[in-house]
Structure 1
Amino acid sequence: MVSILSIFFFCFPTVALSASFRQIFLPPTGFGPESLAFEFPGGAFYSGFRKSRNNLLMIKHTATYFVRTIAFCDGTTDDPVKGPICGRPFGLAYDPIARLLYIADAYYGLLVDDSNGRLAKQIATDAERQPFVFCNGLDIDPITRNIYFTDTSAVYDLRNSTKGLQANDSTGRLLKYDVRTNQVTVLMRNLSGAAGAAVSGDGRFVLVSEFVGNRIQRYWLNGSNAGTSEIILSNLNIVRPNNIKRTILGDFLIAAATVTQASQTPVPIRVRVDGSGTISETVSLEAQYRSTPISEAQQYGLSVYVSSRGVNFVGVYSP
């Protein structure tokens, strides 16, 4: 599993590109931050990345702490040999009440760490005796503290995700981990590239994105519709929806893409929607990311932090 041995202190510069955008760079060998988790209220955040023995990092103010794995993991952890051994952190969420960091690892399933440099604990590897193949997005229910996460596919793991996209794979699942019973429940099946998951502020529902199916579904956790789901967003102009994050206002930010008439190639966007899928804002990130896909957009304070598996930095958009 992803062995967290110790935490080291480093300091890397934050480079301002303009009045509204800056970059927080990973260490020289770091690449591809997939997700972010903020450690409230101290302002620290975590991110997972590859091409380093340090595949989980913590940034606190101007200081950067790196969580080290075994030396064998130097080099990319997305390759066929090292990936399954070293792991690849994808979805992250920090529980400020329990002071625990939850990690959806593409290879090792659901992990938890107390963020003090001890070993990350593997707490779930399967549901209904079906092993996880590609754990992806993750969120914490703000009411119950239960964990909601996705298994992108039952067939294609991270190494073969492109094949899953080409095959229009629809074997993904939305899952719940009960922190009191340590049990995993399957909530939704047959999802087309299950990616992001985000619980509403009142704990009534969870949104799940389908990267292959190009849509967002809402699954009801409570109320008269509990246990049912419906498609709330399926827009031809919004494709490849990835991680979803709840904002401080209670709506959601979705990392996605759109195809412009000028380029005819997907360009990254962040989309703000409410719990019913109504779009209130679409922001193009083409100027900073060109055609590089983004994996997450998350609001912290007045800024929006953006992560991408195609760059070596975390982008910060500020008003």
Structure 2
Amino acid sequence: MIKNVTDIYIAVFSDDKSFQKLPVPGKRSGPEAFAFDSTGKGFYTGVSGGKILKYLPGKGYVDFAHITVSAKTAWCDGAFGTAYIGKCGRPAGIAFNTKTGELYVADASLGLHVISPGGGLAKKIADSVDGKPFLFLDGLDVDPTTGVVYFTSFSSKFGPGDVLKAVASKDATGKLFKYDPSKKVVTVLMEGLSGSAGCAVSSDGSFVLVSQFTKSNIKRYWIKGPKAGSSEDFTNSVSNPDNIKRIGSSGNFWVASVVNSATGPTNPSAVKVSSCGKVLLTIPLKDKFGDTLVSEVNEFKGQLNIGTLFGPFAGILKL
């Protein structure tokens, strides 16, 4: 059912058959983001304890890769894996270079990594830029036209364990980075961002969107054209935006949104926005995720893959 409320379309899915929970194995949690390879079967997701899992319909989750050697062990399962992210790793943003089959990972604590098409141990690309360590990486996307990697840091002052402090203090030390595989160089594109959680490159490679979770704002950084190298506000209509994902070549994007309150995250939702920043559709998710902080909404083959920062399962919602 779709309701039109003051020109904002709200989709209500009351049929429980349209939603499926996929519990994460190994006492791990937080399937935060998703990536899809060229086979078009299932998805890849990073979870607590430093593992990248592949989900295959009818088979379930299988181990695909790990950020550290320790991440393969049961020692990084459960609470230990969550607490010792410096030892185990914590994959946040992930995306494939569809031309090379390589999977790029922004690990929250351990930096930018790349995984070969066959999986296994990730290779660290960088954990600092200009001599300044990455303290809290978050979002990541790969330009579909060039293979250039864009990724964000939520904060340059606080680490992942202090995310609530970063939000409460309205920290504005987040950054947008660029990694060019052909030059093997990381550069800073934007600074002074307030909780830069996610990023997404447009399908034509002309710009990249960057969410500011703390300010409920999304900015657009121009990659090509007369405005190249400059940034502007894209929309202020999405509350506490986390990851952003382009929807194929449609020009539209899905944004994971949370209305943040004094008592904790409430009313998680999936918000579709146009290339002009107009909200096209909102899908409330509270009935399916409760107060869990939804981190990503990623459309693939007629369904939404929905991730969380701390929840024990990934969700699939059929459109």
Q: Structure 1 length as normaliser, TM-score?
A: 0.88
CA distance in 2, matches of 1:114, 1:286: 37
Match of 1:59 in 2: 55
Identity %: 36
2:34 pairs with 1:36: yes
| Amino acid in structure 2 at the alignment position of 1:307 | G
Q: 2:89 is matched with which residue?
A: 87
Q: Is the 8 A contact 1:134 1:157 kept in 2?
A: yes
SS of residue in 1 equivalent to 2:164: helix
Alignment of 1:1-319 (within 5 A): 18-50=16-48, 55-63=51-59, 64-66=61-63, 67=65, 69-70=69-70, 71=73, 72-76=75-79, 77-79=81-83, 82-235=84-237, 238-248=238-248, 249-258=250-259, 266-319=266-319
For residues 110-155 of structure 1, give each alpha carbon's deviation from its aligned partner in whole angstroms, at most 9, with x where no partner exists.
1000142332100111222221111100000011110000011111
CA RMSD between the two structures = 1.9
Counterpart Cα distance in 2 of 1:30 and 1:143: 34
Q: Secondary structure at the match of 1:180?
A: coil
**d(CA) in 1 for partners of 2:91 and 2:199?**
15
What do residues 213-255 of structure 1 show as CA deviations (whole Å, max 9, x unaligned)? 11000000011001111111113xx322100000022210000
Distance 1:136 1:265, change over 3 A: closer
Partner letter of residue 76 of structure 2?
C
Q: Is the CA contact (8 Å cut-off) linking 1:78 and 1:158 kept in structure 2?
A: no
| More strand per residue | 2
Are the aligned partners of 2:258 and 2:265 in contact in 1 as well (CA < 8 Å)? no
Query: Quick check: 2:102–2:117 contact (8 Å CA) kept in 1?
Result: yes
Structure 2 unaligned residues grouped into runs of 5+: 1-14
SS of the residue aligned with 1:98? coil
User: How far is 1:41 from its partner?
Assistant: 2.7
Offset at 1:264? 10
Query: 1:259 deviation in Å?
Result: 6.9
Farther off after superposition, 279-288 or 39-48: 39-48
Give how far 1:185 is off: 1.1
- Unpaired runs of 5+ residues, structure 1, are 1-16
Distance 1:203 1:49 in 2: 29
Q: CA deviation at 1:28?
A: 4.7
Residues 264 and 291, structure 2, Cα contact 8 Å, conserved in 1:
no
**What number of residue pairs does the alignment pair up?**
295
For each residue in 1:20-57, what CA deviation from the matched residue of structure 2 results, as whole angstroms up to 9, or x when unmatched?
A: 1111221151211111111123313111112x5x6221
So what's the TM-score if we normalise by structure 2?
0.88
By how many angstroms is 1:168 displaced? 0.6
Between the aligned partners of 1:105 and 1:30, the Cα distance in structure 2 is 16
Deviates more, 1:17-26 or 1:287-296: 17-26
Partners of 1:74 and 1:307 in 2: how far apart? 19
Q: Distance in 2 between the 1:244 and 1:99 partners?
A: 21
